[in-house]
Amino acid sequence: MAREQRRDVDYFPHDCTHGRKMHIIETKYGNDGYASWFKLLEQLGKANNHYLDISDEMTLMFLTSVFKIDEEKTMSILSDLAKLGAIDNVLFNEHKVVYSAKFCESISDAYRKRKTEMMQYSDILTEIKLKSGQS
Protein backbone atom coordinates (compact mmCIF):
# COMPACT_ATOMS: atom_id res chain seq x y z
CA MET A 1 0.00 0.00 0.00
CA ALA A 2 1.40 3.36 -1.03
CA ARG A 3 2.13 5.97 1.57
CA GLU A 4 -0.09 9.07 1.50
CA GLN A 5 1.65 12.01 -0.11
CA ARG A 6 2.52 14.94 2.13
CA ARG A 7 0.79 18.26 1.71
CA ASP A 8 2.91 20.19 4.20
CA VAL A 9 6.53 21.36 4.48
CA ASP A 10 9.24 21.33 7.13
CA TYR A 11 10.78 24.68 6.20
CA PHE A 12 10.12 27.93 4.36
CA PRO A 13 12.39 30.76 3.19
CA HIS A 14 12.70 33.64 5.64
CA ASP A 15 13.88 36.79 3.92
CA CYS A 16 16.25 39.08 5.79
CA THR A 17 14.61 42.22 4.40
CA HIS A 18 10.98 43.13 4.88
CA GLY A 19 8.66 45.31 2.88
CA ARG A 20 5.93 47.80 3.68
CA LYS A 21 3.43 45.21 4.95
CA MET A 22 5.77 43.90 7.63
CA HIS A 23 6.77 47.46 8.54
CA ILE A 24 3.11 48.39 9.06
CA ILE A 25 2.33 45.28 11.13
CA GLU A 26 5.44 45.62 13.28
CA THR A 27 4.89 49.34 13.81
CA LYS A 28 1.24 48.86 14.80
CA TYR A 29 1.66 45.73 16.96
CA GLY A 30 5.33 45.74 17.93
CA ASN A 31 6.96 42.36 18.48
CA ASP A 32 3.50 40.76 18.75
CA GLY A 33 2.91 41.64 15.10
CA TYR A 34 6.33 40.49 13.95
CA ALA A 35 6.23 37.22 15.89
CA SER A 36 2.63 36.50 14.92
CA TRP A 37 3.43 36.85 11.22
CA PHE A 38 6.30 34.37 11.31
CA LYS A 39 4.45 31.99 13.63
CA LEU A 40 1.56 32.17 11.15
CA LEU A 41 3.91 31.22 8.31
CA GLU A 42 5.15 28.27 10.38
CA GLN A 43 1.57 27.13 10.93
CA LEU A 44 0.74 27.52 7.23
CA GLY A 45 3.78 25.41 6.41
CA LYS A 46 2.65 22.63 8.75
CA ALA A 47 -1.02 22.86 7.75
CA ASN A 48 -2.46 20.37 5.31
CA ASN A 49 -2.73 22.23 1.97
CA HIS A 50 -1.22 25.34 3.59
CA TYR A 51 -4.35 27.06 4.84
CA LEU A 52 -6.01 27.45 8.23
CA ASP A 53 -9.76 27.45 8.70
CA ILE A 54 -10.22 29.68 11.73
CA SER A 55 -14.01 29.47 11.48
CA ASP A 56 -13.31 26.31 13.48
CA GLU A 57 -13.14 27.58 17.06
CA MET A 58 -10.48 25.04 18.07
CA THR A 59 -8.20 26.13 15.22
CA LEU A 60 -8.57 29.79 16.22
CA MET A 61 -7.91 28.95 19.88
CA PHE A 62 -4.79 27.02 18.90
CA LEU A 63 -3.53 29.81 16.65
CA THR A 64 -4.11 32.34 19.43
CA SER A 65 -2.14 30.15 21.83
CA VAL A 66 0.69 29.82 19.30
CA PHE A 67 0.80 33.61 18.92
CA LYS A 68 0.72 33.98 22.75
CA ILE A 69 -1.68 36.91 22.50
CA ASP A 70 -5.41 37.23 23.05
CA GLU A 71 -8.03 36.41 20.44
CA GLU A 72 -8.97 40.04 19.84
CA LYS A 73 -5.40 40.99 18.95
CA THR A 74 -5.00 37.83 16.86
CA MET A 75 -8.07 38.73 14.82
CA SER A 76 -6.92 42.34 14.51
CA ILE A 77 -3.52 41.27 13.18
CA LEU A 78 -5.09 38.79 10.76
CA SER A 79 -7.57 41.41 9.58
CA ASP A 80 -4.76 43.87 8.89
CA LEU A 81 -2.75 41.18 7.10
CA ALA A 82 -5.80 40.58 4.89
CA LYS A 83 -6.23 44.32 4.20
CA LEU A 84 -2.56 44.53 3.25
CA GLY A 85 -2.76 41.48 0.98
CA ALA A 86 -0.31 39.39 3.00
CA ILE A 87 -3.09 36.82 3.38
CA ASP A 88 -5.98 36.38 0.98
CA ASN A 89 -8.62 39.02 1.73
CA VAL A 90 -11.56 37.14 0.17
CA LEU A 91 -10.86 33.84 1.91
CA PHE A 92 -10.32 35.59 5.23
CA ASN A 93 -13.34 37.90 5.14
CA GLU A 94 -15.84 35.55 3.51
CA HIS A 95 -14.76 32.19 4.95
CA LYS A 96 -12.44 32.93 7.91
CA VAL A 97 -9.67 31.04 6.14
CA VAL A 98 -6.03 32.11 6.33
CA TYR A 99 -4.12 31.50 3.09
CA SER A 100 -1.13 33.24 1.54
CA ALA A 101 -0.41 32.80 -2.16
CA LYS A 102 3.01 34.42 -1.71
CA PHE A 103 3.87 31.89 0.99
CA CYS A 104 2.78 29.01 -1.25
CA GLU A 105 4.88 30.41 -4.07
CA SER A 106 7.90 30.56 -1.75
CA ILE A 107 7.63 26.85 -0.88
CA SER A 108 6.76 25.55 -4.36
CA ASP A 109 10.24 24.00 -4.75
CA ALA A 110 9.35 21.47 -2.05
CA TYR A 111 6.67 20.05 -4.35
CA ARG A 112 8.82 19.62 -7.47
CA LYS A 113 9.84 16.04 -6.70
CA ARG A 114 6.56 14.99 -5.09
CA LYS A 115 3.90 13.00 -6.85
CA THR A 116 1.21 15.36 -5.59
CA GLU A 117 1.00 18.97 -6.57
CA MET A 118 0.28 21.85 -4.24
CA MET A 119 -3.41 22.71 -4.20
CA GLN A 120 -4.28 25.74 -6.26
CA TYR A 121 -6.41 28.64 -5.01
CA SER A 122 -9.49 27.41 -6.88
CA ASP A 123 -9.10 23.93 -5.35
CA ILE A 124 -8.88 25.40 -1.87
CA LEU A 125 -11.96 27.54 -2.46
CA THR A 126 -13.87 24.47 -3.69
CA GLU A 127 -12.75 22.45 -0.66
CA ILE A 128 -13.80 25.21 1.74
CA LYS A 129 -17.20 25.57 0.09
CA LEU A 130 -17.75 21.80 0.23
CA LYS A 131 -16.88 21.76 3.94
CA SER A 132 -19.33 24.58 4.64
CA GLY A 133 -22.07 23.05 2.50
CA GLN A 134 -22.04 25.83 -0.14
CA SER A 135 -22.26 25.08 -3.83
pTM: 0.86
The answer to whether residues 77 and 43 touch, using CB atoms and an 8 Å cutoff, is no
pLDDT tens digits along 25-80: 999 999 999 999 999 999 999 999 999 999 999 999 999 999 999 999 999 999 99
pLDDT tens digits along 118-131: 889 999 999 988 88
71 versus 16: the higher-pLDDT residue is 71
SS (HEC) of 52-110: EECCCHHHHHHHHHHHCCCHHHHHHHHHHHHHHCCCCHHHHHHHCEEECHHHHHHCHHH
Q: How many C-beta neighbours within 10 Å does residue 115 have?
A: 8
In the predicted model, what is the mean pLDDT of residues 79-107? Answer: 96
pLDDT at res. 2: 63
